[in-house]
Chains A and B, each alone.
Chain A
Amino acid sequence: MPDFRIKKHPILAIPQRKSIEFTWQGNTYTANEGETIASALFANGIHVFGHHPKDHSPLGIFCANGQCSQCMVIANGSPVKSCMELVQDGMTVLPNDGLPVLPEVEEVPEFKPIHEMDIPVLIIGGGPAGLSAAIELGKAGIRTLLVDDKHRLGGKLVLQTHRFFGSTDAVYAGTRGIDIATRLEKDLSQFPSVEVWLQSTCLGVFSDKKVGILREGGQYTLVRPEVLLVASGAREKFLAFKGNTLPGVYGAGAFQTLVNRDLVRPAEKLFIIGGGNVGLIAGYHALQAGIGVVGLVEAMSECGGYKVHKDKLARMGVPIYTSHTILSANGNEKVESVTIAEVDSQFTPIPGTEKSFECDSVLIAVGLDPVNEFYLKAVDFGLRVYSAGDAEEIAEASAAIFSGKIKGREIARVLGSPVEDIPASWYKTGEILKSKPGRTYYEQLPDLAEGVLPIIHCSQEIPCNPCAGLCPNGLIIVDRKDIRSVPAFIGNNFCCAACERCVAGCPGLAITLVDYSSNPERPTVSIPYEFTRDVISANDIVTVLDTQGTKLGELEVVDVHTIPSSDRTLVVQVVADASIATHIAGIQIQEANITHPMLQYVKHVTDDTIICRCEHVTAGEIRQLIRKGYRDINEIKTVTRAGMGACGAKTCSPLIQRLFKEEGVPYNEVTGPSRRPPFVEVPLGAFAGEKPEEH
């Protein structure tokens, strides 16, 4: 039986888990105890979870985050979101083909009264922002309830295998995201005034100032907080293109969830849409998991993400197509290829530039939208409410950690707790951490070829400073007042001790070390490497590349080692000609042939650009109405059903707004959609106080 599990990973430990069995369409498969149904299906190579009742098109996972409702299956007779529901031993799982049959029930269940509670502070979301806020409130001894819909705290931090950018002092920069989650979780556990509910989904904020929470997957509870902090993070934006609902097209965050949390290999060859940090990092995570990355398109002329992330991907052998867009994902039941094209300055595809690539997955990484429905309702209803992290403003997780900390302290003060004033510098740091990349400078490479030199291939202003703390002699500096400045080596050629801490510790893998001391003509170059050790060893021939991913030559590996502060990053040493030594920035990871275009591009003729995934409403249908003069999204909803589906218009609303923009309608002429609770679908029985049966 094919097994699509990740068996080894350079960063993540592979836990031993109990094997259980479940059936899919009558066949028996193996799953790991404690994994979701979706991951168990992916681990067995099953990607099509059902067919849409409207047009019978195949359905697969999209968000893997309990938001979009695309991954419904029938588990033991009941329709469930396979990305949220854990697989059970002996579970019968069937595809959700058409409308599900509601199971018959003979007995009236026992109802319990709905539990209601008062609490000074309720925090929705236990990611970086919520955790940090909870810690501040815990320090102040304020009774706080933190709810999170996942099985563990940390939010998206637990998906991040890379070292974090940002400020070492303020937000644990230099530490891997997964480890930051564990640290924050541990810090929080010291504070008895904070209660944590996991697997607890916030359903809505009501006009009587109560917040409805489905506790631990079943018990509906109404919480009345004095202050509400919404730290519910973000959801991924969907994108309009032909074939965009084919199984195999999913969000980059979904991909990271499957790979880094659930340790399944959902793809063999994937293509990434979007050159922001999320897309760039997802590409890196794919390579770490042994998945090929065929390419990445970015519509702008430059990637929006950090240059170091882009460079890292480029020099591992991933082609990055800027000023390109996706035209279509192609395939019958799932993605078989992708077609891209170059765009002009108006972002219109240029005929004749189409190319297709074989791939089995397309990752959409075109940005995030705040999960702000709870915040907006709370404001409407006059509840004292704050928001932090991505729920407030989309930025890096490091910024979310810091904004949560500030909000936690602010709330403590509002509640009259005798906590210290918030230093003005906190707000400044908060702003710096949120800032987008700034100027890019030309890389300054030293010309004197002697002694030992760290080469810093980091030439863009980004909020990041771990390197400044790594050099034991303090020779690498980043402006302390503004960590967005680019780092500089302030020593000469004879003061670096060649300890390689900067090489192993730079989150962007953007520092190499060139040692001329034994042979000035043929110096040794130390290169950071974050892949499994067994794929590289001394005497291997590797292709070395510069920051842009240009090949510099094939060289022999002379040594692979770690240093005490490595934390799983390997240091690979090669000997190179002095002429190229300082230019070497990385080692090519994947073979070039995976990135070659197909001989002919795949024309996608079906008009299946879907805007509303839930109700399968196409862009064409909505455009037609906009051209007829429709300006109220609620009227579009009336006529097409767009936004009436299971996700509560979370996925399609931003796309419909974009269609208005594309049709030249200013958005102030458009009436937005009504948003109504519950924001996640919940069985009627839960509201009646029924404890749901175990599946």
Chain B
Amino acid sequence: MNQTSSTNFDAIVLGAGSIGTPTAYYLAKCGLKVLVLESVPSVGQGSNKRAIGGIRATHSDPAKIALCLRSIEIFSTFKEEFGDDIEWDRCGYAFVAYREKEEQTLKNLLKTQKTFGLNINWLDAATFREVIPDINPDGLLGGTFSPDDGSASPLLTNHAYYTHAEELGVEFHFFEPARSMQVENGKIVSLTTDRNTYTAGIVVNCAGAWASEVGKLAGVDLPVRPDSHEAAITEPVARFLGPMVVDIRPAPGSTNYYFYQHITGQIIFCITPAPNAWGFDTRETSSFLPMVSQRMIEVMPRLKNIRVRRTWRGLYPMTPDGFPIFGWAPGISNFLLGVGLCGQGFMLGPAGGELLARLAMNNLTEQDMTTLKYVSPERSFEGQELLK
């Protein structure tokens, strides 16, 4: 928070959330002079703190798989690398199947996932119960299990990146959103807030649910709009549940739901609303708890006695095809995008931040070239993510 009077930076990052904060850190690590502008009062107070903390590499496309494998490397060695306890837990992910439809979906996906070398397997019902002893065995067909996936605290991770970014000289200005950008000859030449006008070599849009609004400041249309998901956390109890449990059966009100026991002993759970709850409304609804609690208790009756502590809603910045957007904005040569993370900003954040830094420094790897094809801002957005 050491605010200098300088208004000229190598890079200005818009947003101090799941993507913006690690990006600022990695840019500074490359030696850049970085300013982060954020509208909320402190780091991670937009959607980051509303994330439930799940981290998996077991996606269905090479880009997210590559990014998340790298993220998991960072999360799992965070303590050694940075010294901070971010509550990382290699708890694994378990997608459960009670119907042939989901069994088929998961098994089909498994083939793709295997080809990318992911550590994920189909477990029959008996083996699945060994991994999750409290799962309801009635009608259980089994499920996939990926033991290398995990969870961590979004709050602590983002805050750790923030602390280390500040150590590298990054300036964070809170309560100071960008209000306008001055574009000349396809380049952002300056950026104005309520307090100041800044100049920077590059501007990075990491504004999450607000990415589309930020894009418009530079005249760039971004197909990102927020979908409001509701979540909750319980009291802590002694550990009884290993992996994140995901049930992809749709039901009235939700397309799927998932829950896990955080390393603190608390159960954290969330749904994907059906239909989507488009917009910025994050006020708590009365329908969420009754809906999700029945579904969870059906799959794990033991959960009926755990007491709910807090509920909240958070925004998933969705793209039409469910894939994130990383790359240079079309038509603006110095406007970098790390947006549309579709609710996976936390797990994609560390690797995404590194990728954005490599884009900024123009030292992309071969793997990056492959990744960027899938997440390019200039793609058609017509595909569909198989496992959101």
A482 CA to B134 CA, complexed, in Å: 68
Q: How far is the CA of A109 from the CA of B293 in the complex (A)?
A: 12
Given A208-B287, A646-B309, A690-B304, A635 contacting B42 (CB threshold 8 A): yes
Cα-based distance from A108 to B297 in the complex (angstroms): 7
Indicate whether A104 reaches chain B with its CB closer than 8 angstroms. yes
Interchain nearest-CB distance for A656 vs B (Å): 14
- Given A638-B49, A638-B159, also A101-B41 (CB < 8 A): no
B234 and A684: CB pair below 8 A?
Answer: yes
User: For residues 220 through 259 of chain B, which have their beta carbon under 8 Å from a beta carbon of chain A?
Assistant: 234-238, 240
Q: Choose the segment among A428-436, A492-500, A670-678 that binds chain B (4+ C-beta atoms closer than 8 Å).
A: A670-678
Q: What string of 1s and 0s marks CB contacts (under 8 Å) between B196-238 and chain A?
A: 0000000000000000000000000000000000000011111
Please tell me if B167 contacts chain A, counting CB pairs below 8 Å.
no
Tell me if B284 and A101 are in contact (CB < 8 A): no
Min CB–CB distance B10 → chain A (angstroms): 24
Q: Which of A114, A380, A632 is within 8 Å of B45, CB to CB?
A: A632
B155 CB within 8 Å of chain A: yes
**Which chain B positions have C-beta within 8 A of A684?**
234, 289, 293, 296-297, 303-308
**Size bracket, chain A contacts:** 35 or more
Residues of A within 8 A of B298 (CB): 108
Task: Tell me, yes or no, whether A102 is within 8 Å of chain B by CB.
Answer: yes
> Is A103 touching B159 in the complex (CB atoms < 8 A)?
no
Q: Are B305 and A105 in contact (CB under 8 A)?
A: yes
- How far, in Å, is A545 (CB) from chain B's closest CB? 51
B290: A residues at CB distance < 8 A? 114, 220, 687-689
A463 within 8 A of B: no
Q: Do most interface residues of chain B lie in helix, strand or loop, or is the interface mixed? A: mixed
Q: How many A-B residue pairs have CB under 8 A?
A: 144
Q: Please, how many angstroms separate the alpha-carbon atoms of A107 and B134 in the complex?
A: 11
Interface hits, A343-373 → B, CB 8 Å: none
Are A632 and B294 in contact (CB-based, < 8 A)?
no
Interface residues of A in 71-108 (CB under 8 A from B): 78-79, 98-108
A638 touches B44 (CB 8 A): yes
B369 at the interface (CB under 8 A from A): no
Q: Does A276 contact B (CB under 8 A)?
A: no
Question: Is the C-beta of B73 less than 8 angstroms from some C-beta in chain A?
Answer: no
Cβ of A426 < 8 Å from any Cβ of B?
Answer: no
Cβ–Cβ < 8 Å partners of B303 in chain A? 102, 684
B305 touches A687 (CB 8 A): no
Q: How many residues of B contact A (CB 8 A)?
A: 46
Establish whether residues A690 and B41, one from each chain, have CB atoms under 8 Å apart when the complex forms: no
Is residue B112 within 8 Å, beta carbon to beta carbon, of the partner chain? no
Contacts of A629 in B (CB 8 A): 1
Contacts A100-B238, A102-B238, A688-B297 known; A671 to B304 CB distance under 8 Å? no
Q: In the complex the two chains form, what is the Cα distance from A681 to B309 in whole Å?
A: 5
Residues of B within 8 A of A (CB): 1, 41-45, 49, 134, 136, 138, 155-156, 159, 174, 234-238, 240, 265, 281, 283-287, 289-290, 293-294, 296-298, 301-312
Q: With contacts A105-B305, A381-B283 known, what are 17 further pairs, Cβ within 8 A?
A: A53-B236, A99-B236, A101-B240, A102-B238, A102-B303, A105-B304, A108-B138, A108-B298, A114-B290, A206-B286, A632-B42, A632-B174, A648-B309, A674-B312, A683-B305, A684-B308, A688-B290
Interface residues of A (CB under 8 A from B): 53, 78-79, 98-109, 111, 114, 204, 206-208, 210, 212, 220, 222, 380-381, 629-632, 634-635, 638-639, 646, 648, 671, 674, 676-678, 681-685, 687-690
